[in-house]
Structure 1
Amino acid sequence: MANPIIEIRNVHKRFGTYVALHDVNLTIEKGEIVTLLGPSGCGKSTLMRMVAGFDDPTEGEIKIGGKSVNGTPPDRRPVNMVFQRYALFPHLDVFDNIAFGLRVKRLPSREVTERVKHMISVVQLDQFKHRYIHELSGGQCQRVALARALINEPEVLLLDEPLAALDLKIRQHMLAEMKRIHEATGAAFLYVTHDQDEALFLSDRIVLLEKGKILQVDTPHDIYRKPRSLFAAKFLGETNLIPATVVRTGPTGTHLRAKDGTVFFSNQDVVAKDGQAVTVSLRPEAITLQSNPGAGSGEGTSATAVCRQSTFLGSRTFVDALVGSNTHIRIQRTGISDIPPVGGNVSISWRPEDVVVLAH
């Protein structure tokens, strides 16, 4: 990368005989928002704690701004951290909470006031600057925590599941706020979450971890549309996973066949041999459903199915259908549209670019 701010090289972390991280390599550029995503116990918080300085690698090296920080205490690193539980001072108002770090540095009072006023404006808390923490909502408290962390102008802001304690609507609002604050400050954000929607919305790149290893580093679009493993396909969003066999591969794409005879064609890059057992991943929203059987278009991109169940969720409806004797397919329809009756035949179709082939 042209402007790396964090370089993590061959990092291992062991706690006794337990391996928390195994051979992690990652580079983060200045101004990026990079999210560490994965289930509980995958190592994402351990990796963030090592960048923050609360733990050291068992092996390997971490650099920030081109300098090794192995053994450097947290207060001597150019980073600040926002925790899930805010860690704000209840006896101080908003202004004094944000000013705390600057006053510890013994900066002139006038400079402190000017910088705090600017940061309060960035997080849009001008009307609340003299309120105490117990007088604020959860989202407002999180903005105070962000402002207090950013006031010291860190090169990297570390965010460890900062929205986990908020309800859904406030969380959605705060995600948009964080994007706006990031654009206003230009700091690199390293964000930890197990929530796929947060990662997809916020990130420039997503780092997917499982059992202490990095499985994939990609843009939100590519990690969702082009997962490289069964774990990635299942963990990010919902998908149909269909056992299949490679019929033939060629320069234009790969032909596959499911056990019930359904034919798939993929024009994505596939690393598989003829006759190999694989799994086809097909997202529910990538499937088109029509009520008149046989209406699909294109050889190998359509099938007739039987509607087994439909689930209405307001802006979306999920239709569960059966292809052949044992291939279950879930289809997502958006907006208000006719839903086929249970037991009725339907035609489903998909595009070759939406068929992802995952080798075992």
Structure 2
Amino acid sequence: MTRAGTRSDVKLAVLLLGMLVSACGDDVAAVAFSLRAAESGAPGLLAAILLARTVPAIGLGLLGGVLVDRALRWWWWPLSLAVQAALFLVMAGARSNALIVACVAVVSAVSAVTGPVASKLIALHSGDHQRIGGHLATVNGLSQACGAALGGIAFGVGGIGPLLCLNAGTFALLAVVALLVTGRSPVPVDASPQRGVLLGFRRLARPGAFGVVGLGLLVCTVFATSIEGVSGVFVLTHHAHWDPAWVGLAWGLWGLGAVLGGQGAGRLRRCPATVLLVLGAGGMGAVFLVLALGLPGVAIGAPLFLVGGAGNGAFNAAVSRTILAAVPLAEQARAWTAYRWIVTCCVVGGYLTGAAFGEHDAVAALALAGGLTLVGALCRTAPHT
């Protein structure tokens, strides 16, 4: 291995570690916001925070991809991370819910414009797209499991303030990582005449990437898992009569499964990404249907979360591998922002759908989620491009 290759591998490892720590901080903050809303008896606060996080991401995310691909400066990302750290410190000391919501909206807007830099840096330093796809899935799985556990424990000890300070610290750490990884060296930009915010969607819809039917599978899967995120809790606690502690254990097993599935997908050299997408989505859909139709007890149901998490990890690893391998480096930011724009819209739609079904019809909502995911997987197995 050349010295340049070794240096690139080190930068990539440092970047992934920084992203893991920051993602854990984000999940801790998400738990803190949820518990703050529950403690204060203000469900509207959680809805307002959800809107503050998603509306700027939907409105500015695609523009951020264009800016990063075509006009990136090395100092943008470190500076934006420092700004986000400062905003979380403001929220930690704020007593006004309105101020917290406003700060969340600004954080989301800043992240939407400059966040795609991380994806472009990963593509720049990635020499093995399959392995890196597995590592990215591991980052997601570990952050969900660790962030939720740490957030729940720490909130009971010190409330929301220390948790938001912790997240501010993770942003500051990632800002240092960003400086170390980027330095003052330029990141390749796109000087071609192909402009526009929709370029990322066209790249994802190419037959060499996901294809149109593959994007349909992506939409079905993210939408369905978002429905499950709302309805699954009601199914387990109110219909299957699980204790809340067992629900927490189940989600921990899901996170562990995501790590195992992501790492496994990163090592299956001869398995095409399309197969991993179908198997991952199908595995999650099957788990949702069994939970909805069987209402199993903890002894049977908890291991299913490990299976579903493994499918989730394999699916996420295949998504990352596909984008890294099928999209040119100069267009990576727009491809990733297009993907995240789709995900954000599906998450919002799934949450609203799960909320519309409510507690009493949660079983039907979970069955719908499982059916949608399986239908999407079956459609992708057809001979389409």
Q: Greater Rg, structure 1 or structure 2? A: 1
Same fold by TM (over 0.5)? no
> What TM bracket, shorter-length normalisation?
under 0.3
- Considering fraction of residues, name the structure with more strand: 1
- TM-score scaled by length of structure 1: 0.24
TM-score, normalised relative to structure 2: 0.23
Structure number with the higher helix fraction is 2
